[in-house]
């Protein structure tokens, strides 16, 4: 498959806005691609090289991409920078510079999908001393053989900025149409994706073995399952009504979600984003081996820092020390953790995802030998709103964040946010009952005491429909001195000279950041605003939504990616709920 053919479709995808046209173009591309190359195509179109859980990252920094472009175009560095700043994105700049006086290749016979993919793979895998230079050499060799149009997409991909506006679910739609003969099969594909988290593999099987092949993708130890997510409702009575009057309340603990796969003596731990975090928690590995009796099993639990003497849960901040890459043995002693199991998706040859909560909980009770380091999340069944409120207070007194209320009849719905689980958090001293996770996209210089560090950050929510990040607030409170030192270091690699093309903003900060770092905030309320584009027109024509009195809670949500941030749709819903409460 020629890379030029892929690029031709990418150009069309970019030009379309309607979902139907996007699906059709994508379906055409899938049909055209040889079976064995489909996984490569799918990963590249997702802007990746492999499924997330394998942790293969491309990530060429802005300054290096500019350097490669400078060499390829033969233009002075200043000229290249100017083109970049003016066009606002590396791809457009490359297309322009290489198109001028035909600097790029006229045709690109040698550039195949496979060559582009393989080169990216080599770049991602190169590490250690001198690796930057060899990565750049590889990238430059691709660009040297690329036409201006191809260079545009190669550089965007290299910088992790492909943005074709193609969501995973659109790829599934296109796959159903192109390879299984109709959209009707989308549900089967979706299920296969949700239990395997590997879109390339699902599409490949659809092409090779058809519907039966896809149906044969089952929950498997070693392959992470896309997590079940909770909805939110503001009141205990509301939750009871929604679930039919009979619920199970569980403590909502404040730690890190862990999906634990055990196969005999081998234990792997995946984060909420399905990245491997086994090395962070050698103790959890040991506890799972020792205290979970099922030989082959997939469990889910919340890892929480604990006080060993008293057995009490400690705040999330304590757990953050464990995220360091070095000195884990020391950290393990200093910050001990307990794993609190709340679900089981597979146990000794049996898939539990389709079974009701009550059966899954019974299985957990059967297979976990409970002690202070490996236990089940406290749970209690009830039909009473008052009891929910009491249990909520108890959970908070014990160091929890609130409750997770679960429908005893509900299955484990992988990859979906639904009403099988509903979270009920503590009422903060504000109208908003829930925290909001937002992405840092800019910073504003500080004055006075904050001179020399940033005074405020510009934050954005996520809009999955447009796959972009509209801004929603500036935030300057809640940061400790330690945070003010640490956050700029985290942000440094994502600094951008231009407004990142996937950020929507009217305000212009002193520094832009590519959307990457997610932080947790609370606010007193959500208001209409003319200067923030989040949720523009969804409540009132010409207005977006903004946070009033936003405050950083102290939590950097590094287990969340930018597209796991709170969505615009959720914020619009929160705005409506809040207004209803005020009216009541």
Pick from 250, 283, 463, 504: which binds ligand ATP (CB under 6 A)?
Answer: 250
* Choice between 367 and 395, CB closer to ligand ATP: 395
Q: Which of 75, 252, 361, 555 binds ligand ATP (CB under 6 A)?
A: 252
Q: Which is nearer to ligand ATP, 111 or 344 (CB)?
A: 344
Q: Which stretch binds ligand ATP (CB under 6 A): 162-170, 176-184, 245-253, 283-291?
A: 245-253
Q: Are strands 503-504 and 469-475 parallel, antiparallel or unpaired?
A: parallel
Give the shortest CB-343-to-ligand ATP separation in angstroms. 7
Smallest gap, in angstroms, from Cβ of residue 230 to ligand ATP?
5
- The sign one gets for the Cα dihedral 39, 45, 50, 52 is negative
Return the residues of window 110-129 that contact ligand ATP according to CB under 6 A: none
Tell which residue, 3, 251, 257, 240, has the closest CA to residue 108: 3
The CB-of-252 to ligand ATP minimum distance in angstroms stands at 4
Answer yes or no whether residue 570 interacts with ligand ATP by CB under 6 A. Answer: no
Residue 56, phi then psi, degrees to nearest 5: -90, 110
The CA radius of gyration of the chain, in Å to the nearest whole number, is 25
What gap in Å lies between CA 40 and CA 56, rounded to an integer?
Answer: 13
- Binding characters for ligand ATP, 20-49, by CB under 6 A (x = yes): ------------------------------
Q: For ligand ATP, which residue of 89, 204, 437, 504 counts as binding (CB under 6 A)?
A: 437
For ligand ATP, the closer of residues 257 and 296 by Cβ is 257
Stretch that binds ligand ATP, among 89-97, 248-256, 263-271, 280-288 (CB under 6 A): 248-256
Residue 230 engages ligand ATP in binding (rule: CB under 6 A) = yes
Q: How far is CA 319 from CA 148, 335, 394, in A?
A: 48, 7, 22
d(CA 153, CA 142): 11
Nearest CA to 170 out of 181, 154, 183 is that of: 183
Binding residue (CB under 6 A) for ligand ATP from 257, 273, 296, 426: 257
Does 207 interact with ligand ATP (rule: CB under 6 A)?
no
- Asked whether position 318 contacts ligand ATP by CB under 6 A, the answer is no
Does 581 qualify as catalytic in the annotation? no
Task: Supply the minimum distance, in Å, between the C-beta of residue 303 and ligand ATP.
Answer: 9
Torsion of CA 539, 545, 549, 553, to 10 degrees: 110
Least distance to ligand ATP, CB of residue 254, Å = 7
423 lies in the binding site for ligand ATP (CB under 6 A): yes
The tokens of 511 are what? 């520094």
Point out the residue whose Cβ comes nearest to ligand ATP.
Answer: 257
Among residues 152, 201, 272, 516, which is the contact residue for ligand ATP, using CB under 6 A?
272
Residue 407 touching ligand ATP (CB under 6 A): no
Alpha helices in 74-130 (DSSP H): 77-87, 90-99, 113-125
Q: Which part of the chain contacts ligand ATP (CB under 6 A), choosing from 90-98, 197-205, 252-260, 532-540?
A: 252-260
C-alpha span between 186 and 182 (Å, rounded): 8
Does 302 help bind ligand ATP (rule: CB under 6 A)?
A: yes
Q: Which is nearer to ligand ATP, 115 or 426 (CB)?
A: 426
Q: Considering CB under 6 A, how many residues would be counted as binding ligand ATP? A: 14
DSSP string, 389-439: HHHHHHHHHTT--EEEEE-TT----TT-EEEEEEEEEPPPSSS--S-EEEE
Pick the closer one to ligand ATP by CB: 259 or 473.
259
Q: What's the chain's length in residues?
A: 584
**Which of 307, 287, 292 has the alpha carbon at shortest distance from 348?**
292
Min dist. Cβ of residue 361 to ligand ATP (A): 11
Contact, 435 vs 521, CB < 8 A?
yes
In the region spanning residues 374 to 403, those forming contacts with ligand ATP, defined by CB under 6 A, are: 377
**From 55-63, 112-120, 249-257, 364-372, span contacting ligand ATP (CB under 6 A):** 249-257
Q: Is the dihedral of CA 435, 437, 438, 440 positive or negative?
A: positive
For 547, the token pair is 């946070």
At closest approach, how far in Å is the CB of 250 from ligand ATP? 4
Strand order through the sheet with 402-406: 229-232, 417-425, 402-406, 247-252, 379-382
Structure-block tokens of residue 19 = 């979902």
- Least Å from the CB of residue 563 to ligand ATP: 11
Out of 117, 120, 342, 412, name the contact with ligand ATP by CB under 6 A: 342
**Where do the H-state alpha helices sit in 272-384?**
282-291, 316-320, 328-334, 357-367
Q: How far apart are alpha carbons 566 and 518 in whole angstroms?
A: 10
Residue with the two structure tokens 């390829």: 72
Q: Are 474 and 506 in contact (CB under 8 A)?
A: no
The yes or no reply on residue 426 touching ligand ATP (CB under 6 A) is: no
Query: Exposed e or buried b for every residue in 323-335, given b needs 16+ CB within 10 A?
Result: eeeeeeeebbeee
Position 518 contacts ligand ATP (CB under 6 A): no
Q: Which residue, 44 or 440, is less far from ligand ATP as judged by CB?
A: 440
Q: Alpha-carbon distance 120 to 244, whole Å?
A: 52
Alpha-carbon distance of 196 to 226, in angstroms, equals 8
Q: One of 152, 223, 252, 474 is an active-site residue; which one?
A: 252
Q: State the nearest-atom distance from the C-beta of 364 to ligand ATP, in Å.
A: 11
> Which residues are at the interface with ligand ATP (CB under 6 A)?
229-230, 250-253, 257, 272, 302, 342, 377, 404, 423, 437
Active-site residues: which are they?
Answer: 252
């Amino acid at each position: 498959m020629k890379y030029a053919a892929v690029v031709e479709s990418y150009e069309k995808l970019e030009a379309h806005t309607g979902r139907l046209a996007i699906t059709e173009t994508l379906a055409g591309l899938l049909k055209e691609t040889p079976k064995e190359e489909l996984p490569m195509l799918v990963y590249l179109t997702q802007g990746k090289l492999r499924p997330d859980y394998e942790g293969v990252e491309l990530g060429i920094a802005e300054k290096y991409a500019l350097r490669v472009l400078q060499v390829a175009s033969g233009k002075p560095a200043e000229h290249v920078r100017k083109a970049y700043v003016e066009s606002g994105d590396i791809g457009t700049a490359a297309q322009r510079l290489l198109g001028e006086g035909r600097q790029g290749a006229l045709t690109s016979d040698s550039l195949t999908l496979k060559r582009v993919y393989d080169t990216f793979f080599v770049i991602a895998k190169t590490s250690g001393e001198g690796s930057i230079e060899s990565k750049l050499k590889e990238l430059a060799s691709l660009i040297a053989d690329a036409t201006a149009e191809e260079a545009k997409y190669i550089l965007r991909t290299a910088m992790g900025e492909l943005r074709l506006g193609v969501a995973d679910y659109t790829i599934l739609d296109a796959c159903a149409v192109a390879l299984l003969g109709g959209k009707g099969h989308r549900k089967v594909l979706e299920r296969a994706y949700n239990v395997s988290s590997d879109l390339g593999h699902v599409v490949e099987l659809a092409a090779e073995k058809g519907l039966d092949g896809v149906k044969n993708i089952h929950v498997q130890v070693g392959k992470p399952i896309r997590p079940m997510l909770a909805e939110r409702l503001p009141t205990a009575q509301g939750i009871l009504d929604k679930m039919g009057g009979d619920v199970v309340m569980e403590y909502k603990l404040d730690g890190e979600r862990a999906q634990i796969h055990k196969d005999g003596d081998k234990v792997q731990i995946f984060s909420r984003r399905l990245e491997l975090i086994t090395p962070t928690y050698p103790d959890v590995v040991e506890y799972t081996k020792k205290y979970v009796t099922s030989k082959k099993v997939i469990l889910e639990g919340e890892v929480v820092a604990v006080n060993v003497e008293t057995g009490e849960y400690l705040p999330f901040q304590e757990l953050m020390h464990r995220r360091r890459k070095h000195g884990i043995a020391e950290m393990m002693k200093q910050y001990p953790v307990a794993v609190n199991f709340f679900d089981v998706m597979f146990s000794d040859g049996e898939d539990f995802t389709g079974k009701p909560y009550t059966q899954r909980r019974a299985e957990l009770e059967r297979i976990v030998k409970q002690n202070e380091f490996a236990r089940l999340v406290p749970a209690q069944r009830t039909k009473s709103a008052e009891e929910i409120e009491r249990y909520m207070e108890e959970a908070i007194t014990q160091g929890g964040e609130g409750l997770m209320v679960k429908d005893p009849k509900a299955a484990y719905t992988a990859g979906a946010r639904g009403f099988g689980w509903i979270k009920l958090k503590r009422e903060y001293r504000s109208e908003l009952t829930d925290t909001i996770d937002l992405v840092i996209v800019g910073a504003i210089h500080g004055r006075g005491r904050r001179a020399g560090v940033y005074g405020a950050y510009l934050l954005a929510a996520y809009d999955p429909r447009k796959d972009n990040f509209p801004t929603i607030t500036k935030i300057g409170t809640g940061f400790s001195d330690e945070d003010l030192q640490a956050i700029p270091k985290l942000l440094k690699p994502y600094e951008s000279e231009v407004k990142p093309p996937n950020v929507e903003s009217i305000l212009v900060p002193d520094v832009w950041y590519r959307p990457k770092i997610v932080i947790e905030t609370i606010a007193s309320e959500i208001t209409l605003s003319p200067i923030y584009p989040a949720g523009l027109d969804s409540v009132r024509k010409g207005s977006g939504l903004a946070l009033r009195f936003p405050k950083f809670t102290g939590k950097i949500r590094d287990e969340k990616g930018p597209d796991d941030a709170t969505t615009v749709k959720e914020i619009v819903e929160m705005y409506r709920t809040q207004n209803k409460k005020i009216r009541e």
